[in-house]
Chains A and B, each alone.
Chain A
Amino acid sequence: MTSVAPPPPAEIRWCGVRISRLSRRRLANFRANRRGWWSTWIFLALFLFTLPAEFVANDRPLLVWLNGELYVPVLSSYAETDFGGEFETEADYRDPYFQQLLQGSGWALWPLIRYGNRTVNFALREPAPAPPSGNNWLGTDDQARDVLARLIYGCRISVLFGLCLTFFSSLVGIAAGAIQGYFGGWVDLLFQRFIEVWQGLPTLYLLIILASLVEPNFAWLLGLLLLFSWMSLVGVVRAEFLRARNFDFVRAARALGVDDITIMRRHVLPNAMASTLTFLPFILTGSVTVLTSLDFLGFGLPAGSPSLGELLAQGKRNLHAPWLGVTVVVVLSVMLSLLVFIGEAVRDAFDPRRSLEPSGSAG
C-alpha cells in the first residue's frame, strides 16, 4: 500500500453537471418507470412544440420573397408599401390584396397554422363560434379567433408560468425552511407563527382586490402568487433540517470549524433535496391549475390574452359549441395527468428504499 493519491475519479458529466452514482441510480429508477418516462418525453415534446408558438401559429408568414428581396415578417414588421401596396400601415398578410401583390413575382412561407392568438377570422361563413373546419382545425371561439392557435399560446404561457412560480417558490421555500429547521428555537417559533398567520390570508380575495387596482400581467400575477405559494415547501425542508441538524456528521462538521452556511449547504441540504425534489412536479401541477382557475374566473391575465382558463370560460359560456369545452378539457386533463405521472415517477425514483444500496440485512 502506498500513500500516493489515486488520480481523480472519472466523472460522468452531463452538460458540465457532475452526476453522482446515486443520481445515476435514481435516473435509472426513473427510466424504469415506463409511464413516467414516456410522460416526460410527451410533455417535453408538447412543451418544445408550443415554446416557439410564433413560428407555429401566426398570422404573418415566416418568410416572404418578393422581387428578389427576402422579408422576415415573423420577426420584424413591414409597411404595406414595402411590398408595393398603397398604405403605410403594417401589411395585413392574410388580406387577399396581399396575395395579389405576391402573385407572379414572389412567394410566402407560412407557419403550420395561419392564425395568431388574436387573429380574427373575418372570412367565417357562419356566426362565431364556428365549428372545426379545414381552415380552423379546432373551430373558432366566440370572437372568431382560431382555437388551436390560442391553445398553443395558452399552453405555453401556462407551463412557463408554472415553471417560474415553481422555481421561485421553491427557492424561497427552501431558504425559509432551512433557516427555521437549522437554527430552531426562537427563529423557528416566530417563523412558524408568522406562516400560520400568513396562510390564513384569503389569497383569492386579495387577488380580486388587487385586480381592481392594477391590471394584472404575467409578472404581477407571478409576484402575487409567489407571496403565498412559497409556504408549501417550508414544512418538508424544515423537518429535514430539524432532523439532520442533530446528526453526528453535522456535529463533526461543527467540530471541524465549518461555518453554519457551509454546513447547511454541503451537509444538510443534499439530504433534504430528495424529499424536496419529490414535491416539485406536484407544485408545478398546482401552479398551472392556479393560473387556469384565475383566468377562468377572470382575475388572471389581461383580457384577450390566450390562456387555458379563458378558453375554459368560453366553453362554459358557449355550451352549444362543444368543440370549445371539449378541446380545453382534453388538453388540460392530458397536461395535468402527464405532470402527475412524472411526479409519481420522480417520487418513486427518490424513494430511499429503492435508490440506496440495500444494506446487508443479515445480522
Chain B
Amino acid sequence: MSLLEIQQLSTTFSGSGGEADVEAVRDLSLNVERGETVAVVGESGSGKSVTALSVMQLLPYPQAYHPSGSIRLGEDELIGAPPALLQSLRGDRMAMIFQEPMTALNPLHTVEKQIGETLRLHQGLDRDAARQRSLELLRRVQIPDPEQRLESWPHQLSGGQRQRVMIAMALANEPDLLIADEPTTALDVTVQAEILTLLREQQIQLNMGLLLITHDLTLVSHIADRVYVMTQGRVVEQGVTTQILTEPTHPYTRKLLASEPPPRWDRARSSVPVRPVDASIEATGRATGPAHSSGQVDPPDDLLQVDDLRVWFPIKRGLLRRTVGHVKAVDGVSLQLASGSTIGLVGESGSGKTTLAMAVLRLLTSEGGIRFCGHDLQLLKNTQLRALRRQFQVVFQDPLSSLSPRLSAFQIVEEGLKVHGIGGHYQQRRAHVAAALHEVGLDPASMDRFPHEFSGGQRQRLAVARALILEPRFLVLDEPTSALDRTVQLQIIELLQRLQEQHDLAYLFISHDLRVVRALADELVVLRDGVVVESGRARDLFEAPRQQYTQRLMQAAFTRSVGGFDS
C-alpha cells in the first residue's frame, strides 16, 4: 500500500461576491511510496501548492472545499477527518517545509523554542530532553555551531540556515511523509544545491516519502524518482524522471524543458541590419575585456562610466550615536558601459547588486565618479538631474509592486511624458502610449486596465514600456525576470534582446540567475560583499572562470542542468 495516495482530488475555492468559483485542482491522482521522492512541477497558478496544502488540510476551509476525491495517508482518510486526528498527524506523521523560511519561522521565538515545540507536543518530552533532541536535529541538518544556534533568533540566521532549521523542525518527529513546497526558491544558487542534497540524504536515511513541489523541472531532475507535471490544476504528464526529461510527450513539458535561453554569443546578432554602431560595440567589448583594471584608458564612446563607487552605511552605537564603522554595501566598484551593450551584474543576495544599481541611478547617495553621456551625475543639481533622467531608466524585479496599483496602465506609462513635458496633449499622449505598448507586445486596447488585471509577464512588459517611452539610452534591469515563471522569463528576455537591437540600448542587467544573464550579457561583473570578484567578457567568464567564487557560482547554476549531483 502506498504511503500517500491521492485519488481524483479536486479543490475548489468558492468565489466571493458573485464571482465564479476557482477550480484550483481538478481530478488529480498521485501516490508516494515510502522511501520515494516525488516531484510535482508546474508554474505559478498550476495548483501545485494547493495540492500540497490539501494533503496537510491547511487550506482556508470552508472557503476552499473538495468536491471529490480522497487523500489517504496510510490507513487514514484525511478529507473530512476530525480536527483532533489531523492535529495529531501534522508534524508527527506528515510534515511540511515552506518556501520562505523567514516568514515560516516565528520571529519572536528562538530556534530552540521553535524546534522544541513539536517535540513537546507530539512526544511529550520535557525541557532538557527536548533541548538534547533539538541539538541532535541541528547536527543532523549540518548547521555549524549547533549549541550557539539554539539560542539564535530567526533574523540572526542566513536564508540557508533558516531553511535548515525548518527542515530540522519538520524532521523532529521523523515523519513518514515530508512535503517540501519550493524549499529552495528563496535561496541563492549555491545554497539551493546544499539544501537539496540535505533533503535527499535525510529522505534516504529516514526512509521517508518526500513530496517536492517546485517550478523548476531541471532542479529536481536528479533527486526525484518520479515527476508529475501540472498546469492549470491538472496533471498533464507523469512518469519516471529520466523518461520525462529525455522523452517528454506533452507539449507543455517540452515547453518547460526548452525554456532555457541560449547564450548571447550563440545567438545570431541581427535580425536587424548591422549598423556601424554595432561594430564599434564589438570593438569596445574586446578592448575593455577581459581583465578589469582601473588604470585602463577608457574608450571615448563609453555611455556610462563608474569609477570607484562606494556606498557605505554608517553603523551607529551608543548614546551619542557615534559612527563606529561602516557596512560597505558597495566598495570601490568601477564599470564601463558602451551604448548598445550589456553588463551582467551577478552575485548572491546581499552582494550589493541592487545597491550599486540604485547608486548609479542616483536614487541612493554614494561616493565616487558616475559619468553618463559626458555629465558627472554626482555634481548635478536635483533639477538638472531630473531633466537628465529621461536618458536612464530602470525596471524593477517585482512588476506588481513597481506599478502604482491605483493608476491605469495608460496613466502609468504616460507619467514620464507628463513629467518631462513631452508627448503633447491628451490624444497625442494616448497615441504615444499605444505605440509603446505595442512595441513591448501588449495590446494597446488594454491601456485603461489596472495593473492587477494583467498577468505577471504582462506587468513586466508594462514596466518596460514605462521606461521605454522616454527613449532612454541606458536601462537598469534589476532582476527583471526573477519574479516570473520560466516560460515567461524567456519571453521577457527575447523582448529585451529585440529592444536592445532596435534602439541601441545599453543595459545594466542584474540577476542572480546565471542562465538568464548568459543570454544577455556582453560583459560580466561578479560581485561579492560589495567588491568585484571578477569581471571581463561574458563568454570568457562563463567558459573559464578564474576565481574560485565564480567557479562555484557557475557550477551551482549549470552542473545541475547538465550532469547530476554526483558530479
Q: Which A positions have Cβ atoms within 8 angstroms of B?
A: 1-6, 8-9, 20-22, 247-249, 251-259, 262, 266-267, 270-271, 354, 356-363
Contact B404 A257 (CB under 8 A): no
Is B350's beta carbon under 8 Å from chain A?
no
| A to B contact number (C-beta, < 8 Å) | 128
B125 within 8 A of A: no
Chain B residues with CB below 8 A from A363, complex form: 44-45, 47-50
Q: In the assembly, what is the distance between CA of A249 and CA of B447, in Å?
A: 18
CB–CB B419/A258 < 8 A: yes
| Complex CA–CA separation, A87 to B331 (angstroms) | 95
Is B291 on the interface with A (CB-CB < 8 A)?
A: no
Task: Determine the main DSSP class of A at the interface with B.
Answer: loop
Q: Are B420 and A361 in contact (CB under 8 A)?
A: no
Given the known interface contacts A248-B398, A360-B45, the answer about A5 and B363 at a Cβ–Cβ threshold of 8 Å is: no
In the complex, what distance in Å separates the CA atom of A270 from the CA atom of B450? 14
Extra 12 A-B pairs, beta carbons < 8 Å, given A1-B443, A5-B431, A6-B445: A4-B431, A6-B447, A8-B430, A22-B406, A256-B415, A256-B416, A259-B419, A358-B16, A360-B45, A361-B13, A363-B44, A363-B45
- CB distance A257 to B389 under 8 Å? yes
Complex contact A4–B434 (CB within 8 A): yes
- Determine which of B44, B390, B398, B444 lies in contact with A6 in the assembled complex, contact meaning CB atoms within 8 Å: B444
10 CB < 8 A contacts A-B: A5-B430, A8-B430, A248-B396, A251-B394, A255-B361, A255-B389, A255-B392, A255-B393, A256-B470, A363-B47
Contact B444 A252 (CB under 8 A): no
- The answer for the CA separation of A103 and B46 in the assembled complex, in Å, is 89
Q: Smallest Cβ distance from A263 to chain B, in angstroms?
A: 10
Q: State in angstroms the CA–CA spacing of A362 and B407 once bound together.
A: 26
Known: A252-B396, A257-B420, A363-B45. A5 touches B405 (CB 8 A): no
CB distance from B492 to the nearest CB of A (A): 17
Q: Which residues of A contact B416 (CB under 8 A)?
A: 256-257
- Which residues from B are CB-within-8-Å of A247? 401-402
Complex: A360 Cα to B13 Cα, angstroms:
9
* Neighbouring A residues of B44 by C-beta, 8 Å: 363
Name which residue of chain B comes closest to A257, CB basis: B389
Contacts A1-B438, A4-B444, A256-B389: A361 and B431 contacting too (C-beta < 8 A)?
A: no
Inter-chain CA distance A254–B386, complex, in Å, is 9
Q: Which residue of B lies closest to A360 (CB)?
A: B45
CA distance A50 to B426 in the complex (A): 45
Distance A8 CA – B398 CA, assembled complex (angstroms): 28
B282 in the interface (beta carbon within 8 A): no
Contact partner of B396 among A5, A251, A257, A271, CB < 8 A?
A251
Q: Report yes or no: B405 in contact with A252, Cβ–Cβ below 8 A.
A: no
Bound Cα distance A248, B233 (Å)? 32
Q: Which 6 A-B pairs have the closest CB atoms?
A: A3-B438, A257-B389, A248-B402, A363-B49, A5-B434, A5-B430
Q: Is the CB of A252 within 8 A of B466?
A: yes
Q: Using CB atoms, name the residue of chain A closest to B215.
A: A363
Q: B427 within 8 Å of A by Cβ?
A: yes
Are A249 and B444 in contact, CB atoms less than 8 angstroms apart? no
> Interface size bucket, B side?
35 or more
Interface core residue of B404, B416, B420, B431 (most chain A CB under 10 Å): B404
Given contacts A1-B438, A2-B444, are A361 and B415 in contact (CB under 8 A)? Answer: no
Interface flag for B526 (CB, 8 Å): no
Contact with B403, one of A3, A249, A258 (Cβ below 8 angstroms): A249
**B4 interface hit (Cβ, 8 Å):** no
B445 touching A249 by the CB < 8 A rule?
no
Contact string against A for B residues 76-99, beta-carbon threshold 8 Å, 1 for contact and 0 otherwise: 000000000000000000000000
Nearest CB of chain B from residue A356's CB, rounded to whole Å: 8
A362 contacts B45, CB within 8 Å? yes
- With a cutoff of 8 Å between Cβ atoms, the chain B residues found around residue A361 in the complex are 13, 22, 24, 50, 60
CB-nearest residue of chain B relative to A260?
B382
Complex Cα gap A8–B46 (Å): 35
- Tell me whether A362 and B50 are in contact (CB under 8 A): yes
Decide yes or no: A256 and B419 within 8 Å by CB, A251-B363, A360-B45 being known contacts. Answer: yes
**Chain B residues whose C-beta falls within 8 Å of the C-beta of A4 in the assembled complex:** 431, 434, 444
Q: Contact at A3–B393, with CB atoms within 8 Å?
A: no
Interface residue? B155 (CB, 8 A): no
A-facing residues in B378-412 (Cβ within 8 Å): 385-387, 389-390, 392-394, 396-398, 401-408
Q: What chain A residues lie within 8 Å of B447 (beta carbons)?
A: 5-6
Q: A271 to chain B: which residues have CB within 8 Å? A: 405-406
Kindly provide the distance from the CB of A265 to the nearest chain B CB, expressed in whole angstroms: 12
Least CB distance from A189 to B in Å reads 12
Name the contact of A1 in the complex, choosing from B13, B433, B444 (C-beta under 8 A).
B444
A240 → chain B closest CB, angstroms: 13
Complex-state Cα separation, A4 to B233, whole angstroms: 37
- Are A252 and B402 closer than 8 Å at their CB atoms? yes
Q: Are A6 and B406 in contact (CB under 8 A)?
A: no
B431 proximity list for chain A (CB < 8 A)? 3-5
CA distance A298 to B376 in the complex (A): 67
- The A-contacting residues of B in range 435-485, CB under 8 angstroms, are 435, 437-439, 443-445, 447-448, 450, 452-453, 463, 466, 470
B442 to chain A, nearest CB (A): 9
| B402 A249 Cβ-Cβ under 8 A | yes
Contact pick for B49, options A8, A248, A257, A362, CB 8 Å: A362
Is the beta-carbon distance between A255 and B394 smaller than 8 angstroms? yes
Chain A residues, Cβ within 8 Å of B435:
3
CB distance from B47 to the nearest CB of A (A): 5
B145 interface residue (CB < 8 Å to A): no
Q: A292: shortest Cβ distance to chain B, in Å?
A: 38
> How many angstroms from the CA of A256 to the CA of B444 in the assembled complex?
22
B247 at the interface (CB under 8 A from A): no
A104, B463: Cα distance in complex, Å: 83
**Residues of chain B contacted by A251 (CB below 8 angstroms):** 358, 363, 394, 396, 402
Q: Which residues of the partner chain B approach A359 to less than 8 Å between Cβ atoms?
A: 452
Of the candidates A2, A249, A259, A358, the one whose C-beta lies within 8 Å of that of B386 is: A259
| Cα of A358 to Cα of B466 in the assembled complex, Å | 26
Residues of A near B233 (CB, < 8 A) are: 362
Question: Nearest chain B CB to A24's CB is how many angstroms away?
Answer: 13
Whether B22 pairs with A6 at a CB distance below 8 angstroms is: no
CB B510 to nearest CB in A, in angstroms, measures 14
Residue of A249, A254, A258 near B363 (CB, 8 A) is A254
Question: Whole-angstrom distance from the CB of A126 to the nearest CB of chain B?
Answer: 60
Bound complex: CA of A252 vs CA of B405, how far in Å?
Answer: 13
Residues A2 and B463 in contact, CB atoms below 8 Å apart: no
Q: Mark B144-171, 1 if CB is under 8 A from A, else 0.
A: 0000000000000000000000000000
Bound: A266/B404 CA distance, A: 9
Are A249 and B420 in contact, CB atoms less than 8 angstroms apart? no
A124 to chain B, nearest CB (A): 59
* B419 pairs with A257, CB closer than 8 A: yes
User: Quick one: given A3-B434, A361-B13, A362-B233, are A249 and B404 in contact (CB under 8 Å)?
Assistant: yes
Give Cα A6–Cα B453 distance, bound, in whole angstroms. Answer: 17
Known contacts A248-B398, A362-B49; A267 and B404 CB within 8 A of each other: yes
Residues of A within 8 A of B427 (CB): 5
Report the bound CA distance from A361 to B426 in whole Å.
Answer: 38
A21 to B361, CA, bound (A): 35
Say yes or no for B19: interface residue by CB 8 A criterion.
Answer: yes
- B389 A5 Cβ-Cβ under 8 A: no
Complex Cα–Cα for A330 and B397 (A): 58
How far is A8 from B394 in the complex, measured between Cα atoms in Å? 28
- Nearest CB of A to B488, in Å: 15
**Residue of A whose beta carbon sits closest to that of B446:** A6
> How many angstroms from the CA of A255 to the CA of B385 in the assembled complex?
10
> Contacts of B48 on A, CB cut-off 8 Å?
363
For A358, list chain B residues within 8 Å (CB): 15-16, 19
Question: Could you tell me if A360 and B403 are in contact, using CB atoms closer than 8 angstroms?
Answer: no
